[in-house]
Amino acid sequence: MYKDLAHIREKSAFIIDMDGVIYHGNSLLQGAQEFVEWLSANNKAFLFLTNSSERSPLELSQKLARLGVMVDPEHFYTSALATAAFLASQNPGGSVYVIGEPGLIQALYDAGFTMNNVNPDYVVVGEGRGYSLETLERAVKLVNAGGRLIGTNPDLTGPVEGGIVPACGALVAPIELATDTKAYFVGKPNPLIMRHGLRRLNTRREDTAIIGDRMDTDIVAGVESEIETILVLSGVTSLQDIPRFPYRPRHILEGVFEIPDSPLNQ
């Protein structure tokens, strides 16, 4: 595996995925706490940029706190926030039908959108336990009636403690098939969310690295945004998966535990 830890440590800013990088579900991954402590101790700018749309930045901060890692809410940015910002730029004060969790719904409310299950401007799909045949049927009906289909992110699967579960891309697919419509996905690897991340960090792409566990979102997002890429093998991607893709990460690590310059990693 190629890795230049000294070069990685020289970066002044990091965009970091969460699921599969920092935790699996409610289980903290090896070295995650030490990595966050290293970021703070070395005055690194950092942003947890997650394709998950379920939780708000405050909820993500509280989740990490329950796992023993203290990070302020301003260090989090989600696909829900990016989706709300994108829609607000396209159609201020519009209406939406949402399949998703409170983090997505609150982001849309905060951006000035109203909920509408009759004739919405957009049908917005994120991850959610409320996904059912009934919501699927309504989404298909509304898209066929003119609602524009938006997905918070294209991830087909996501890692949890027990393995892999369907994610937003898999939940949107039946609606796409039934309506002969392609959703517009706002989360990684869309350059929109990467630009949002860089602006929040107030950093240049040359000084930044992205850390993620997915070749098809995190790594391609970095490649297309010309941000240095670090793939960790603690999530959904294995070494055997990498040759299937036409692009490569700059660095490949077992996990973020390798990054802090502790005696064990010298």
| Domain CATH code at residue 44 | 3.40.50.1000
Nearest residue to 46 via CA among 198, 172, 183 = 198
Residue 218 annotated among the catalytic residues of the structure: no
Low-confidence residues of the chain, pLDDT below 70? 1, 159-161, 262-266
Residue 213 annotated among the catalytic residues of the structure: no
User: 202 with 260, same domain?
Assistant: yes
Q: Residue 1: what pLDDT? A: 60
Say how many domains are in the chain: 2
Q: Residue 266: what pLDDT? A: 46
Q: Residue 139: what pLDDT? A: 97
Q: Residue 263: what pLDDT? A: 45
Q: Residue 262: what pLDDT? A: 64
Distance CA 34, CA 56 (A): 24
Which of 17, 155, 213, 216 is an active site residue? 17
Q: Residue 231: what pLDDT? A: 98
User: 99 with 39, same domain?
Assistant: no
| Domain end position, chosen among 129, 153, 185 | 185
Residue 71 lies in a domain: no
Q: Residue 103: what pLDDT? A: 94
- Tell if the pTM clears 0.85, that is, is over it: yes
Residue 59 lies in a domain: no
Q: Residue 62: how many CB atoms within 10 A of its CB?
A: 14
Distance CA 225, CA 238 (A): 23
In degrees, to the nearest 5, what angle opens at C-alpha 193 toward C-alphas 189 and 198?
115
**Domain span at 235:** 5-51+188-265
Strand partners, 46: 14
User: 135 with 195, same domain?
Assistant: no
